[in-house]
C-alpha cells in the first residue's frame, strides 16, 4: 500500500507508514495492479453468488483514525502514540519518540524531553536540551513538568507537534 504522505510503498495491511509514520487507510487506488487476470467460462446454468454486504451504521465516520493519546507531527501528519512514559529525542534506538530524519529533527537533542502520564493527565518535561521545549510558545525550564491539554502545541527545538488526548 502506498503512503499518500511520502509515497513510500508499505506491506499490504499496514496501519502506519514504515517511512514517515502516517496513518494508512485502505484505498484501492493505492494498491499495486496485479498483472495476472484469471478468466473462466461461465456455465449457462450457473447463478452468480450475490456480492457480500457490509453493514455500516449511518452515523459511522468515513475512517476511524487512531484515537488514543498521541502527538501529531504538524509538518508531516506522522502520529506518535503515547504510553505511560515517552522519551523524545533523536538517534537512539531506546527512544519512544525518535525525531531523527524528520523536518527540523537536527535541532532535537539526543534525549530532549520526557512525556509522562500521571493518573489521567500527561506532562512534558525538558531534560536539559540545547534548543529547549515549548508548550504553546512558553519555554519550559529544564526539569519543569508542564501539563498538556487537548490541542496544545509542543515544540522540541524546532519540531512542532500537536497533543491529542483521545
- Per-residue pLDDT, averaged over 137-141, amounts to 97
**Cα(65)–Cα(85) distance, integer angstroms:** 22
> Is it the case that residue 151 has pLDDT exceeding 70?
yes
- Domain 70-164 belongs to what architecture? Sandwich (2.60)
Coil, helix or strand for 107? helix
**Within a 13 Å sphere around the CA of 45, how many CA atoms are in the beta-carbon half?**
0
Give domain limits for the chain.
1-32, 70-164
What's the pTM value of the predicted model, to 2 decimals? 0.61
Amino acid 15: pLDDT:
72
Comparing 6 with 39, the larger pLDDT belongs to 6
Amino acid 27: pLDDT = 46
Q: Which of the pair, 142 or 11, is modelled with greater confidence?
A: 142
Strand partners of residue 86: 115
3-state secondary structure of 78: coil
Whether residue 119 is predicted with pLDDT greater than 50 in this model: the reply is yes
SS3 81: strand
Asked whether the predicted pLDDT for residue 30 surpasses 50, the reply is no
Pairing of strands 97-98, 85-89: parallel
The tens digit of pLDDT for each residue in 89-99 reads: 999 889 999 99
Mean of the pLDDT values across residues 137-145? 96
Of the chain, the percentage scoring pLDDT greater than 70 comes to: 68
Amino acid at each position: 500500500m502506498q503512503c499518500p504522505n511520502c509515497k513510500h510503498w508499505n506491506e499490504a495491511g499496514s496501519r502506519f507508514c514504515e517511512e514517515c509514520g502516517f496513518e494508512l487507510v485502505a484505498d484501492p487506488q493505492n494498491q499495486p495492479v496485479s498483472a495476472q487476470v484469471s478468466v473462466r467460462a461461465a456455465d449457462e446454468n450457473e447463478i452468480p453468488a450475490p456480492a457480500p454486504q457490509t453493514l455500516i451504521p449511518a452515523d459511522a465516520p468515513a475512517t476511524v483514525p487512531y484515537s488514543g493519546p498521541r502527538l501529531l507531527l504538524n509538518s508531516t501528519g506522522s502520529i506518535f502514540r503515547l504510553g505511560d512514559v515517552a522519551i523524545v529525542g533523536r538517534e537512539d534506538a531506546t527512544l519512544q519518540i525518535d525525531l531523527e530524519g524528520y523536518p527540523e529533527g537536527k535541532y532535537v537533542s539526543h534525549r530532549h524531553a520526557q512525556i509522562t502520564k500521571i493518573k489521567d493527565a500527561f506532562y512534558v518535561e525538558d531534560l536539559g536540551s540545547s534548543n529547549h521545549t515549548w508548550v504553546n510558545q512558553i519555554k519550559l525550564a529544564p526539569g519543569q513538568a508542564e501539563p498538556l491539554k487537548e490541542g496544545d502545541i509542543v515544540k522540541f527545538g524546532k519540531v512542532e507537534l500537536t497533543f491529542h488526548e483521545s
